[in-house]
Amino acid sequence: MTPDAQNTPNTRRTFWRAIALSLLPSLVLVMTAKDAYLVDFSALYFAAEFYAQADWANIYPPSPEFFWDPAPDAWRERAAREFAAQGATSDIVTPYVYPPIWAALMAPFTAWVPFGVASHILIAVNAAALVAIIWMGYHLMAHEDMQLTHWSLMCVGLSIYSIAFVLAFLLGQPQVVVNAMILGSMVLLLRGHDVSAGGLLAFAAAIKLAPAIFAILFVMEKRWTALVSFVIIGAGLALCSVMITGWPLHDAFLSKLAQLDGQTLLSRINLSLDQPLYHLNHLLTGRFENDFTKPELFDAPAWTGLTLRLVLLAGLVWIYRATRTLPDDKRLGRRVLSLSLLLILTSPLSWVHYMMLPLILLPGLWGGRGFLPFYGLCVLVFSPHVFTWLSAQQVGFLLLPALYCGTALIAFILSVTQVPLRSTSAHNRA
């Protein structure tokens, strides 16, 4: 909109409607998660407690399995006390799999912020991050035929009733904040703030390693300042982490991650292509089975890892070639959407809550051929009712990941091949 029109009554009403719509998913998800036991967040909190107690061995306790079964005694006992205090029915104890610096930074707070209070703080932070994600997604992806109100409304449909967002809030996942940082980095890049864009992405990659792949977009966009900023700030953060927490903890962290090498996770909420490739291998070799009842790691066939790497490489080339002729204000957002889906498909661990980012960006394909049916398909496929119903079926362990993975694959193909509508400048999207 033009500067002269920014203060008109219609514009102000549109702005406040967009605010209300953006807040709606966060409010619903806060009410859903407010009494939940945040399993994933508990891993960070307990690790921080062990750090505060100088109990280094229990931050990354050695275990023959990546997912504990059973959990180490110290973790099981600490979780049992919290289960009792929270009145939780869960008995899941998950390992801490983030860099040690975050346990160190949170350690002082565990002495005066109880787990329940800290959980509510995280839920509030995630709620604010979700509002930011919706707005930044609009500035990155929307076109001139779509107002902020319409964008927010479509994001409500994809987030307020989606297992990806529900699980993220119920588990206490930092992925919500990480997604906000990734989008913030890309919006900064779109607006020409290259140093800040690289630095913010480096911070996201310091929380979870996977966001580092988005630095490839700096290369595709030939934004070398952003790339240098990412490398320098990322290296500085890694050095600070080692200096603060010491190398032994980092060695234990890397050893924990190494347990995933050559492994395939069979889970109802893992979207990776690795899982269907594993079943295909067993089908071809006459060893197919369907009696899984819980998530498990299995030795992956040698060819599946190579296949995923080739798919990743081919996908990157396809993204670059298919988007290089798009207008400047269309290209970056489309690349973020496509790359987020490619990462989900080719990573060994691609939890369903990783779909938050592409689902929020999906309305950017509005107006293209087949968008509305696919939008409806995504709302249906990722609904909690479909998840609950299929989980109760014997074939649910096969159908759910196949359904999720297939939908992500279709979304990736659409994101790369969809022709955008008319171009508009980023500063006109308000």
The pLDDT > 70 percentage for the chain reads 91
Residue 355 has pLDDT above 50, yes or no: yes
Whether 218 contacts 224, CB under 8 Å: yes
- Amino acid in position 150: H
pLDDT at position 348 is: 84
pLDDT at position 403 is: 93
Instruction: Provide the H-helix boundaries in 1-53.
Output: 9-33, 39-52
pLDDT at position 71 is: 85
- Per-residue pLDDT of 379-388, as tens digits, reads 999 999 999 9
Residue 321 has pLDDT above 50, yes or no: yes
Entry pTM: 0.91
Which CA distances in Å does 60 have to 66, 115, 174, 244? Answer: 11, 20, 19, 17
Highest mean pLDDT: which range of 10-19, 25-34, 64-73: 25-34
Residue 152 has pLDDT above 80, yes or no: yes
| Higher pLDDT among residues 316 and 76, named by residue | 316
Q: Please tell me the distance from the alpha carbon of residue 156 to that of residue 130, in angstroms, as a whole number.
A: 11
- Per-residue pLDDT of 248-277, as tens digits, reads 999 999 999 988 888 888 888 899 999 889
Q: Please tell me the distance from the alpha carbon of residue 180 to that of residue 151, in angstroms, as a whole number.
A: 17
> For the chain, what is the largest distance between any 2 Cα atoms, rounded to a whole number of angstroms?
70
Mean pLDDT confidence for 215-241: 97
pLDDT at position 92 is: 80
Mean pLDDT confidence for 204-232: 96
pLDDT at position 429 is: 44
Mean pLDDT confidence for 122-144: 89
pLDDT at position 295 is: 75
| Higher pLDDT among residues 86 and 77, named by residue | 77
- Helix, strand, coil fractions of the chain, as percent rounded to 5: 70, 0, 25
- How long a stretch of residues is the chain? 430
Provide the mean pLDDT of the chain: 87
Domain extent listing, the chain: 3-35+114-428
Whether 349 contacts 295, CB under 8 Å: no
pLDDT at position 144 is: 65
Confidence of residue 11 (pLDDT cuts 50, 70, 90): low
HSE-CB of 391 using CA atoms within 13 angstroms: 14
